[in-house]
Amino acid sequence: MGSQLALKGRIASTGSLEKIFNAQEMIAASHIAQAREVALNAKPYTDAIFDAVQTLVSHSHISHPIVKKEGDNPRVAVLALTADRGMAGAYTSSIIRETEDLLARLDEAGKEPELFVYGRRGVSYYKYRNRPLAQTWEGDTERPGVEVADAISRALLDAYMLPADQGGVSELYIVYTEFINMVVQKVRVLRMLPVEIIEDKDAQRPDPTATTAMPLYAFEPSLDEVLDAVLPKYVRSRIHECLLEAAASEVACRQNAMHTATENARELINDLTRKLNASRQASITQELTEIIGSADALNKKEE
Amino acid sequence: MIMAGATMDVNIVSADHPVWSGVAKSVLVPAYAGGMGILPGHEPVLSVIQEGPLVVTEPDGAKHSFEVTDGFISFDSNKLTVVVEHGRTMANQPIDETGIQ
């Protein structure tokens, strides 16, 4: 049985840890509301872009490089979305595990994956292991703004648009955590580029070669320029969507992890308090036995 | 055309938040080659727009003006959607009838 002083010290330190965990849990809980608001604010934009892309698809056979990439360039880009801070349970580690899986699969398929990482935890993980990283971003993983999405999508689109002999990539995969609900978050791998656009079945248009037919839509200045303007925005808004979902998952993971940690700390404190009481009682009993024993011995002497 | 009414629905969204939505009788957008006016019942159009002022006239004549960056507009079924990177209301700035300051 440990000394009472040591037990008291451990109880005090666990108590302060518990306070920290509890505070973190509350912070995460308040961030959830913010994350939801940011996601709701970005949704109309995403929807509008999606509608525009659907319109474009239904009017023409798009042969834009974002949709179709020619040649067999083995280089592909992988973007992993991790957290900036720890204290989020298995959030970053499950992303890293999935990323490693994907990289191994791509290697097997004869591709040459290039790794892009967002989030300080992921960056430091790979830096520590001396893995070559194509590009990294840090900061604001809990509240990714448009600027971050812009920086990431610009870098990735640049890499994608480069010709193969200049170090371009032919595909882009994103590893992120899908937010299903507060309790369940799932790691997902998404192929972002080339964009797969599913054509609306009802929106079958007449043969595009029939040039005499009045187009239903006017594209200004021209279809190609509209495509050039809309498709990168589409990709960016998709990436932003992934970032927002990852942020919501991160916050939810953190809240769950901190909730469990708080409970564990409380259990530990109860356990330690019991041990402390037992050890105090033991020392009292021992003292009493000693006093009674010695008093007994004195009484016997006098007889 | 059925959609040729006196008003149309307008929805202006920027990348991080919705800017404005409501009913209008005319909208002036900074299209790629200069200002472009859109009235209810316009033919379906998808156009690239550039940075500049965007003016919405409500049915009662009230004007709202916005400063938008590059993006695009789409008009279909009497509904105008303006999609821009950044958009903000220009507050307290007088605008004359043409919308040019």
List, in order, residues 6 or more apart from B35 with CB less than 8 Å away. B28, B29, B52, B99, B100
Q: What phi, psi does A87 have (nearest 5°)?
A: 55, 35
What pLDDT digit, counting tens, does each position of B7-44 carry?
Answer: 899 999 988 888 888 999 999 998 888 888 999 988 88
CA distance to partner chain A, nearest, from residue B17 (Å): 4
Cβ-nearest to A229 among B17, B43, B72: B72
pTM above 0.90, yes or no: no
Restricting to A residues 200-239, those with a Cβ less than 8 Å away from any Cβ of B are 216-221, 225-226, 229-230, 233, 236-237
Domain B8-89 bears CATH identifier 2.60.15.10: yes
**Which residue is it, tokens 């999606």?**
A50
Neighbours of A187 (CB within 10 A): 20
Residues of chain A contacting residue B31, judged by C-beta atoms under 8 Å apart = 220
In the DSSP assignment, the letter for residue A200 is P
Rounded Cα distance, B9 and B42, in Å = 12
Question: Are B17 and A221 a contacting pair at CB < 8 A?
Answer: no
- Chain A's closest residue to B13, CA to CA, is A45
Q: Compute the Cα dihedral for A148, A77, A192, B51 and give only its sign.
A: positive
* pLDDT at res. A209: 47
Residue A171 pLDDT: 87
Residue A211 has pLDDT above 50, yes or no: no
Q: Sign of the C-alpha dihedral, residues A107, A113, A118, A123? A: positive
Tokens 């990735």 correspond to A156
Question: Residue A78 corresponds to which tokens in the numbers above?
Answer: 């992988």
Kindly report whether the peptide bond that precedes residue A221 is cis, defined as omega within 30 degrees of 0: yes
Dump the DSSP string for B24-65: ESEEEEEETTEEEEE-TTPPPEEEEE-SEEEEEE-TTS-EEE
CB of B16 within 8 Å of a chain A CB? The answer is: yes
Compute the CA torsion angle A252, A257, A260, A266 (nearest 10 deg). Answer: -120
Q: Are A156 and A116 in contact (CB under 8 A)?
A: yes
| Torsion B21-B27-B28-B33 (CA) sign | positive
Least confident of A157-161, A208-212, A289-293, B37-41: A208-212
Angle of helix A4-59 relative to helix A223-302, nearest 10 degrees, comes to 170
Secondary structure class of A70 (helix, strand, coil):
coil
Residue B83 at interface with chain A, using a CB cutoff of 8 Å: yes
How far from the centroid of its chain's Cα atoms is residue A284's Cα? 54
**pLDDT at res. A212:** 39
The 3-state DSSP composition of chain B as helix, strand, coil percent (nearest 5) reads: 0, 55, 45
Q: What is the pLDDT of residue A59?
A: 73
- pLDDT number for residue A17: 94
Q: Which pLDDT value is given to residue A9?
A: 93
| A237-248 mean pLDDT | 89
Looking at residue B91, what is its pLDDT?
66
Write phi, then psi, for A229 (nearest 5 degrees): -80, -40
A219 CA to chain B: closest CA distance, Å? Answer: 5
Please name the residues between 18 and 77 in chain B that touch chain A, using a CB distance below 8 Å: 18, 31-33, 43-48, 70-72, 74, 76
Which of A219, A216, A242 is closest to A230 using CA atoms? A219
* Residue located via tokens 């005499």: A212
Phi-psi map region of A13: left, alpha, beta (phi>0 left; psi -120 to 50 alpha): alpha
Tens of pLDDT, residue by residue over A89-141, are 889 999 999 999 999 999 998 888 889 999 999 999 999 998 888 889 988 88
In chain A the domains, ranked by start, together with CATH numbers, are 4-19+259-293 (1.10.287), 27-199+213-256 (3.40.1380.10)
The percent of chain A in helix, strand and coil, each rounded to the nearest 5, is 60, 15, 25
* Residues A170 and A71: beta-carbon distance below 8 Å: yes
The percent of residues above 70 in pLDDT, for chain B, comes to 84
What residue segments make up the domains of chain B, in order of their start?
Answer: 8-89
pLDDT value for A7: 92
Say what percent of chain A tops pLDDT 90.
36
**Contact call for B83 and A48, based on CB within 8 A:** yes
- Report the pLDDT averaged over residues A61-88: 81
CB pair distance less than 8 Å for A230 and B72 = yes
In DSSP terms, A186 is beta-bridged to A178
